[in-house]
Structure 1
Amino acid sequence: MQGIKKILSKIKPPFLRYFFVGIAGFLVLTVIFVGSIYLGAWGSVPNKKELSNFQYQVASEVFTADSVLIGKYYLNDRQPITFDEFPEHLLQALISIEDERFYEHSGVDYPSLFRVGIKTILLGDESSGGGSTISQQLAKNLYPRRDRKQTNIVVDKIKEMIIAGRLEDIYDKNEILTHYLNTVSFGDNTFGIESAALKFFNTRTKNLSVEQAATLVGMLKATYGYNPRIFPEKSRERRNLVLSTMVKNNFISKTEYDALKQLDIGLDYRDYDYSSGLAPYFREEVRKQLLEWTKTQNEEGKEYNIYTSGLKVYTTLNYKMQQLAEQSMVEHMGRLQSDFEKSYGKNAPWLTDKNLIKTVARRSTAYKNLKKEGFTDDEIFDSLQHSKRKMTITSWEEETEKELSVMDSIQHYMKFLNTGSISLNPKTGEVLTWIGGVDFKQFKYDHISQSKRQVGSTFKPFVYTAALEQGIEPCTYFSAQEVEYENLKGWSPSNSGDIDEAYLNYSMEEGLSKSVNTIAVKVMEKTGVDEVLALAKKMGIEERLPSEPSIALGTGEIKLIELAKAYTSYMNEGRSVKPLLIKTITTQQDSLLASFEPKKSENAAFSAENGQIMMEMMKSTINSGTASRIRSTYKLSNDIAGKTGTTQNNKDAWFVALSPNLLHVTWVGLDHHEIGFRNTSIGQGANAALPMYALLLQKMNKDEQFNHITRARFPAPSGRVQEMLDCEPIKRDGFFKRLFKNPNKKKTRKFKGQD
């Protein structure tokens, strides 16, 4: 200490002595300050062991059966990749603009720091940059700054320098680059170069062009300000700056630069958002099933999280077919919506029925929230009607922004027809297309897996199958005359009202193909209600159905997915197969975690022969029955069997189509049960539901990749089956029977088997 004092006393003049004392004091304080950060006085600094074992939060990916990425589940959208998957020009662009001396420093570039300090602090040149190396930026990616106060920024900077040094001790330069490019943010909740390449250019990192790589690297300085989706021109300028630094570092030639800088950004943006993209309802159902799987796995001690574990989920969905199905849905539903609204005109219930509008409003979240706060009905409806704000309103033509009240919005969406539509391989249950509704953003409710609706005449095949199982011959004739059943409170199922029907007797095949209600009820009566319900259960219907004769007309409410499962029985000799959505689940490195096989019912619900008879009956529905517009209007010659369905008051329209390698089910109706189609001509299954299938099949017929579906042929029925069905479709009452029958008078009797 005395020696230091002697040295200082020799320094003249005194202000120099004080200057050196100040410098020495500053250095001592700096060493103490840095040392205190190093020792954790300002918060812990991760040690080498921790840095050696950090784990990414990795998004799980959803693929179609043909390995097309259609969605992700994530907290942070990230898919890590290996160093080998980085194209050389990507690394060159990164190093050129972010850290030219990357291969020369050991985590901290002190000459660069000194340069930045002089220019920024002393000269006020903010364009000099931040001086952080890629290793320091990696440290910041792994341990984001918590506080933006000036004092804490200094602490954070020093922490990042310490962490960067430790990272350089643990990892080689290629590993540093790999970790950096897998963790860095690109905005739009996108982390890592692979997710950014997919989102902004719809390509994998390994396929990025020079200019695409430069665009993404350019975003790193300001992920919002240089986002090509938001600011394309600024992004282009920044990209060209990155390219110019690549010229400066001899990575590309001046000639290449001159050509590349002229190019547009060429954005091909794909947002793997929950509500958008292909098959959103399908992806949501997969998510639910995946959560159930992870719950089971975690109970066994395995730690899987669908949002962070980087699972790869390979589904059964056919990418091209789903595209065609969605196109067909938009094409048909847009046209049907227009016809539907025109049919009501100015007297539409969503415009004039105040009680109905209020009933629907009471189901809304806005109403329920105000009710919870203690407001009266009058106060709530006053608020919902008069408080207006800007809303984006969707229609089949466009999206528009308007000043609307909540009640305006409710009335707008009340009128929307909705749909549920599924296609699957009837032999394996593998789901090929899944459309749960018309717009996932507006209508989250899935009409395949969640909605229960009356199924109308699509239930009739179960009645007829049960009849065959009870030994009733397919050429048994039933009178079409309307009957009033005394023991069923005067219930009197009717047909179209054609007076001549009182004289007609239908074979089972003709009764089913023409979907004659009076025939279905009489077949049910002869078979037995309990026998029909028991068969439906064996075929895969899990819903508890009412034990009433009206079930013959499809008054029971069933989920679409259950109806599809039941119909697979006709393609599997009486054994139903459960719809299958997920085939395999793997790790990010493609190690198999789980695989799923088709699940068929153990026992057949009906005989193979009766199954053949039913298929022949349902072929008649297509060729000459209620679904004959498949042939006449849509000119489809494919092998098809099927059944239409329309419920009471035209509330629900259905169509089921079966072909050798495809089962398709469509429902169309409104979410609000109070509103139905104005008339049967619009609301019948053949008009409201069938076209979605017909349009899809027309598109598939034009694409050779679907030949295994479109050109498949049903096997010929056995000679015995053909003989059993060889009878006149309709028999007319004889002269004397017609003479003494009053067609205007209902026949009255009791329904057999009912108390």
Structure 2
Amino acid sequence: MSRLCAFVRPWLGKGLHHLRHPTRRGILIAIGALPAALVLYVIVLIPFTPGIGDIRKARVDQPARILSADGKLLAEFKPSNREWVPLSQISPHMVDALISTEDHRFYEHHGIDFKRTAGAALHTFSGDRQGGSTITQQLARNLYPDEIGRAPTLTRKIKEAITAFKIEAVYSKPQILETYLNTVPFLYNAFGIEMAARTYFGVSADQLTVLQAATLTGMLKGNAYYNPVINPERALARRNTVLAQMVKYGKLTDAQDATLSKKPLRLDFERQTEPPGPAPHFAQQLRKWLIAWADRNDYNIYSDGLVVRTTIDSRLQAMATAALKQQANQLQGSANGVWSGRNGCTVGNDLFKTFMRETPDYKSARDGGASDEDALKKLAADRTFMRALCKDKTTVQAGFLAIDPRSGQIKAWVGSRDFAGEPFDHVQQARRQPGSTFKAFVYGAAFAAGAKPSDTIVDQAVEMPLEGGEIWRPNDDVPPSNKPMSLRDALAFSRNRITAQVMQAVGPDKVARLARAMGVRDSELKPVPSLALGTSPVTLKEMVSAYSTIANDGEYMEPRMVTRIENSKGDVLAEFASASPERALSASADRTLLDTMRDVVNRGTGASIRSRFGIRADVAGKTGTTQDNADGWFILMDPQLVAGAWVGFDDGRVTLQTEGARSALPIVGDFFSRALRARIVDPRARFDTEVQPGAFETFRDRLKTWMDGLFASKTPAVAPRAPAHAPASRAAGPVVAPAPEPAEVPPSSGVAQAGAAAASGASAAASGASAAAVPPDIARMFGQPPVLGASSSAGASAPPPAHQDQAPQQAPYPPQEPMLAPTPTPDDSAGGNSAGAQYTPPTPQPQGN
């Protein structure tokens, strides 16, 4: 080390001496070394500038075009509010004004105007800062702001110059002008000359006059400073400067300038908004997927001209949008009536007072020293604040989704009433309690375990102990009948007490696993008893996907949005076939479930599908309503299409005044009736619900037949018994008008401490009802000991509530003859929960994925 220091020290000393006492030779060497260093620096920066390939892609701005399955344009994915127009469709006045003002030697240089650059540098050194960038250099900044940067440094200027040379090597002069004019920003989210012409003057780019072209050109020096909307005096002065430049370079005469410079700006300003398209929420979700696909495959969705062919049917999408808007508007009228007056959006309403306390305005008033009362009074006096808060909290929202169960293709997607006013997607982003629509998984798990629709459970008071010493008491809109009710009737009339007992027999874990297998795969499902009544929040997309599994013979098909991606020439870049089906539920159990769910629309809570909308097709479905009617659901299954709707408010504390059969069902009913009339969905399509017997059942029946024949001579003749594998579907018969739908009871979760519930428990015991009775037959099927107090007689099914006109239990469907006149639906708003301490599961607010 000491030797190295001894060697370096003399050289270092000589260097310092030359710096202090420079010679003429040293100065000449230093001056000659500067250009060499600059050249070396430029060479080093070249790899950090855009390549020729990137420049070629950037020139042609071809956004991805999203097409429906029937070839209709759904959306274009643009990086901004821009519409590309060729140079031939741009006013020549704009080109003249641009070149005269920004780069009058544009046709003479090759990217850099060295004379202008040197002049700008001299002016800058003298204190009068000027820009020397050519149109090509400005284009380089516009196309590659991240790669080049905008800081006023030597590095940025060198990168800009290198990129300008590359652009000139790739583009012709007309192409450079066209690209520049289509990429330059003009404030108010208007990019390019076409959108600027529309925004500031209400005309197209080819209609721009000399004055309009001069005004827009003047903005290029500083959009904000020369903004003609908020700084008209500056914009006018800058416009006249541009006119003078046009005179200087022979584009205008002095006489024209004298006349034009005296005229006002005459703006026709209107912000430009990108049209949402017919399926905006679908397009929003698709954009995320497409960006990921493009990144993996080295494509740009904004410039490579991709053509994305989706699964959406534009006709079904239009029908869904119309049906949702019509029903939501009607519900909004009812909501407005409820929230108007003294008990509406006023401080007299405790709930609305809570909303007021949650606003930043209230918090600001309290931080300023105001008391709670004074802060509320101040806000209540602000009519604008009160109207805005009332609208935000009481606007009815809805979501709709339709899927082809055979392929998983999404056919219609409506995420809200109005995308512009509510871009939040209530199909995929919102998680809400599904209510009784979740019961399909409970009965599906029961049928998979061996239960039959004819099996019965006593309709009795139910008490289920929970963790922490609490007791869950599910209720219905009528008192317990203490009579057996078949599973078929329990699902058709959405009986909470029966469903809770089925859940107890099957087990929450099995139900949760089945729901996940069938399609509820993103949301967390808590395996607790109340899950039977839909207390775990899920998305509408998950529920419709799971019901598609039911309609697809128990096989899950992953929902998909895209079938094919092509380039701008029509060459196929990628094809997306349907995912492989996944068996979620056995075919026999699924067909039994599907046949049982037919009764929901034939004579149960969804009967208005038949009576009101006149739908005669072979359909099945389920209604759903959550606590206090906070959420309304309905999902309908057809062999070719499954559609579901959710209705509610963004804030779950605001509730509807009607249940799911009256809020969400009309959307689906209207949609399906339109689709069937248009023959987009075949009204003749039928579900195959014939349950084929297994090998064991076949052997058992043959053995029984042989035994009966063997002992026939010794045994008195008896009526033949139906085979265990009797088909779940019923033979066609006379047509009967569907009964009015009964009320659906929200999943009230009555919970009280064990001590507080003693009286209720004693009352139930006195009536002969067991707290958690399970029929002996079903208990044996589930591997449990039978519980006393339950009946397994198949024929003693409890009738529907007395106020309903009950149709025959075995009424066949689909009908083969015209239906009778629709029967009016009775008012079911009186249905309530039994008295006692009640526990209301918290209703989660909409949240993102």
TM-score above 0.5:
yes
Give the corresponding residue for 2:66: 63
Deviation at 1:565, TM superposition (A): 2.0
The farther-off stretch of 63-72 and 177-186 is 177-186
Conservation of the 8 A alpha-carbon contact between 1:350 and 1:414:
no
3-state SS of the aligned residue for 1:709? Answer: coil
Instruction: Specify the structure having the higher radius of gyration (Cα).
Output: 2
Deviations along 1:602-640, one digit per CA (max 9) or x if unpaired, are 333222x33222222222222222112122222333442
Deviations along 1:176-208, one digit per CA (max 9) or x if unpaired, are 4543454345664343578789999999xxxx9
Give the corresponding residue for 2:321: 326
Give the corresponding residue for 1:697: 672
The correspondence for 1:580, drawn from 560, 568, 590, is: 560
RMSD over aligned Cα, in angstroms? 6.0
Deviation at 1:595, TM superposition (A): 4.9
Residues 611 and 684 of structure 1: CA distance in aligned 2, closer, same or farther (over 3 Å): same
2: CA distance, partners of 1:653 / 1:590: 44
Deviation at 1:309, TM superposition (A): 7.6
Conservation of the 8 A alpha-carbon contact between 2:514 and 2:584:
no
Deviation at 1:352, TM superposition (A): 4.9
2: CA distance, partners of 1:746 / 1:356: 42
Conservation of the 8 A alpha-carbon contact between 2:195 and 2:272:
no
- 1:179 counterpart letter in structure 2: T
Residues 598 and 195 of structure 1: CA distance in aligned 2, closer, same or farther (over 3 Å): farther
Give the corresponding residue for 2:534: 554
2: CA distance, partners of 1:212 / 1:428: 51
Give the corresponding residue for 2:503: 524
Instruction: Determine what percentage of the aligned residue pairs are the same residue.
Output: 26
Output aligned runs, 1:315-714, within 5 Å. Answer: 315-343=310-338, 346=341, 348=343, 350-352=345-347, 356-357=351-352, 359-361=354-356, 364=359, 376=367, 379=370, 385=376, 404-405=384-385, 409-440=388-419, 443-479=422-458, 481-485=459-463, 487=465, 491-497=472-478, 502=481, 505-542=484-521, 543-584=523-564, 595-600=575-580, 602-607=582-587, 609-677=588-656, 682-701=657-676, 704=678, 707-711=679-683, 713-714=685-686
Conservation of the 8 A alpha-carbon contact between 2:97 and 2:217:
no
Deviation at 1:270, TM superposition (A): 7.2
Residues 659 and 355 of structure 1: CA distance in aligned 2, closer, same or farther (over 3 Å): same
Deviation at 1:708, TM superposition (A): 3.5
Residues 427 and 190 of structure 1: CA distance in aligned 2, closer, same or farther (over 3 Å): farther
Residues 214 and 279 of structure 1: CA distance in aligned 2, closer, same or farther (over 3 Å): farther
Conservation of the 8 A alpha-carbon contact between 1:64 and 1:318:
no
- 2:446 counterpart letter in structure 1: A
1: CA distance, partners of 2:179 / 2:380: 46
Conservation of the 8 A alpha-carbon contact between 1:448 and 1:561:
yes
- State how many pairs are aligned: 620
3-state SS of the aligned residue for 1:70? Answer: strand
3-state SS of the aligned residue for 2:175? Answer: helix
The farther-off stretch of 688-697 and 319-328 is 319-328
Deviation at 1:656, TM superposition (A): 0.3
3-state SS of the aligned residue for 1:708? Answer: coil
2: CA distance, partners of 1:442 / 1:143: 34
Conservation of the 8 A alpha-carbon contact between 1:529 and 1:547:
yes
Deviations along 1:142-167, one digit per CA (max 9) or x if unpaired, are 69999999xx9xxx9xx999999996
3-state SS of the aligned residue for 2:654? Answer: coil
2: CA distance, partners of 1:215 / 1:585: 45
| Unaligned residue ranges in structure 2 (runs of 5+) | 1-34, 111-132, 237-250, 252-266, 693-724, 737-762, 775-783, 788-849
Conservation of the 8 A alpha-carbon contact between 1:482 and 1:492:
no
1: CA distance, partners of 2:515 / 2:161: 70
Residues 54 and 568 of structure 1: CA distance in aligned 2, closer, same or farther (over 3 Å): closer
Deviations along 1:455-502, one digit per CA (max 9) or x if unpaired, are 1111112122112111112222334x33233656664433332x6x72
Conservation of the 8 A alpha-carbon contact between 2:189 and 2:272:
no
3-state SS of the aligned residue for 2:636? Answer: strand
Residues 389 and 579 of structure 1: CA distance in aligned 2, closer, same or farther (over 3 Å): farther
2: CA distance, partners of 1:216 / 1:472: 78
3-state SS of the aligned residue for 1:421? Answer: strand
3-state SS of the aligned residue for 1:557? Answer: coil
Residues 211 and 427 of structure 1: CA distance in aligned 2, closer, same or farther (over 3 Å): farther
Residues 218 and 514 of structure 1: CA distance in aligned 2, closer, same or farther (over 3 Å): farther
Deviation at 1:687, TM superposition (A): 0.5
Conservation of the 8 A alpha-carbon contact between 1:59 and 1:78:
no
Deviations along 1:515-548, one digit per CA (max 9) or x if unpaired, are 2223323433444444333322322323443333
- 2:494 counterpart letter in structure 1: S
Residues 386 and 743 of structure 1: CA distance in aligned 2, closer, same or farther (over 3 Å): closer
2: CA distance, partners of 1:575 / 1:383: 61
Conservation of the 8 A alpha-carbon contact between 1:615 and 1:641:
yes
The correspondence for 2:690, drawn from 718, 729, 737, is: 718
| Unaligned residue ranges in structure 1 (runs of 5+) | 1-35, 109-131, 235-248, 250-264, 391-401, 730-740
2: CA distance, partners of 1:637 / 1:218: 66
Conservation of the 8 A alpha-carbon contact between 1:60 and 1:310:
yes
3-state SS of the aligned residue for 1:191? Answer: coil
1: CA distance, partners of 2:768 / 2:212: 78
Residues 528 and 172 of structure 1: CA distance in aligned 2, closer, same or farther (over 3 Å): closer
Conservation of the 8 A alpha-carbon contact between 2:647 and 2:664:
yes
3-state SS of the aligned residue for 2:474? Answer: coil
2: CA distance, partners of 1:610 / 1:198: 61
1: CA distance, partners of 2:441 / 2:511: 7
- 1:271 counterpart letter in structure 2: T
- 1:697 counterpart letter in structure 2: F
Give the corresponding residue for 1:285: 285
Conservation of the 8 A alpha-carbon contact between 2:403 and 2:548:
no
Conservation of the 8 A alpha-carbon contact between 2:434 and 2:536:
yes
1: CA distance, partners of 2:624 / 2:92: 63
Conservation of the 8 A alpha-carbon contact between 2:565 and 2:572:
yes
2: CA distance, partners of 1:60 / 1:352: 51
Conservation of the 8 A alpha-carbon contact between 2:592 and 2:691:
no
